[in-house]
Structures are given as structure tokens and as C-alpha cells.
Structure 1
Amino acid sequence: MAIRDTIMTLFLITPGEMSGHLAKRARGKRLALNLSQKTLSERSKVSLSVIKKFEKTGKISLQSLLKIALVLDALEPFKDLFGQKIADTSLETLLEEKERKRGRR
């Protein structure tokens, strides 16, 4: 069994569920900052209709999500989204490993 298959088995949340979770967290953060949807729209330069749709359905483009995250002071965690977990890798392996330039077929 590949590592990817193991990870997929252990992580029991679908992309749809994750997007809904992110939408609820973003709405909660917006409310905690005492921002209306309209104010968030103005500050993030994301249309009000997109913000309403995101909070209701969880659907949004990555670019719009990042703009909203910036206004909600939640952009920083995105930079590590696809980072390698150090705890799962030895220091020797990290030092020997070369950065990949492109994927294999």
C-alpha cells in the first residue's frame, strides 16, 4: 500500500466537507473581527456575491480565498499548505534530497 493510500484512508473528510469547514471558519473570523460581508468585500476586493456564496456553499476560487484570508489575517498558514512534514523525514534524508524540478509521467 502506498503512503498516499494510507493518508487518504486516515483522513476521513471530503473536499466538499473541508470547503464547508473553511467557509464556517472564515465566517466566524469575519464576525469575530466585527466585519460585515460588505466590508469584507470592499477590503478584499472580492465581490459581495462571491463572499455570500462562499459562506453559504463553501465554493470559491483560490485567488478569492487568499484575498479574504489576507483581510482576515489568516494568509500565513497557506504558505505551508503543501510543505513537507519534517517529523516524518529524517534530517539526513532532507539534506540529501534534491528539490524536484518537474513531475514524472
Structure 2
Amino acid sequence: MLLISPSKAQVKIANSIRERRLQMDLTQEGLADRSGVPLATLRKFEQKGIISLESLLKLLMIVGGLDEIVNTLKPRKTSYETIDDVLKDNNQFERKRGRKK
């Protein structure tokens, strides 16, 4: 688990997209045209990391990484084969309660 704030994550993602754009030798205008994301939106994203999810996905379709994002967010599959496996696994965890304040 990363200990990073959402605002820092936004900036890191924006920097990664910018680096991919530059590796592809694309200008901001070129990426905006190819992706369908308005140029002003792309500029704001690269400067501040602020963008809608739809626009981010459009950019990822062009610079790459959309498949990785989608696959990363898939639920993890369990390796249970029988109900006994589930019961054994449930016995390994102890319930914990938070302190009341």
C-alpha cells in the first residue's frame, strides 16, 4: 500500500502521461487532437494533475497504459477450491474492533 496523498498521486500520474507524450514525440496539441481531449484540459492536467476520468482514459488510449489500469483494478481471484478451504481461511483471521471515542 502506498502512503501517498491523492493530490500527489494526481501530479505523479500527470507527469507520467507527460513523459509518455514526450517519448512519443507528441506536442500537447498533437495529443489533444489524437485523444479528443481539449487542449486546455490537457494543459491543466499536465500542470496541476486535474482531469476527469473520461479524459484520462482517452489520453491513456493514445499514450498507452489503459489496459494496465483496467487489469490492475480487477478483483483478485481467490484460490479456494472447496468450502473447506474457505472455512480454513476464515479461521485464520481474528476480528478486530476499533476503539470508541
TM-score (norm 1): 0.72
User: Do structure 1's residue 20 and structure 2's residue 11 form an aligned pair?
Assistant: yes
CA distance, structure 2, for counterparts of residue 14 and residue 85 of structure 1:
24
Provide the rounded CA distance (Å) in 1 between the counterparts of 2:39 and 2:76: 37
Alignment of 1:4-83 (within 5 A): 10-83=1-74
> Following TM superposition, where does structure 1 have runs of at least 4 consecutive aligned residues deviating by more than 4 angstroms?
none
| Aligned mates of 1:13, 1:60 — CA distance in 2 | 18
Q: RMSD of the TM alignment (CA)? A: 2.0
TM-score (norm 2): 0.74
Structure 1 portions without partners, runs of 5+: 1-9, 98-105
* Equivalent position of 1:5 in the other structure: none
Larger Rg: 2
What is the number of equivalent residue pairs in this alignment? 84
Residue 83 of structure 1: how far off its partner (Å)? 2.1
For 2:73 and 2:57, locate their aligned partners in 1 and report how far apart those are by CA, in whole Å: 15
Task: Indicate the SS of the match to 1:69.
Answer: helix
Q: Post-superposition shift, 1:82?
A: 2.4
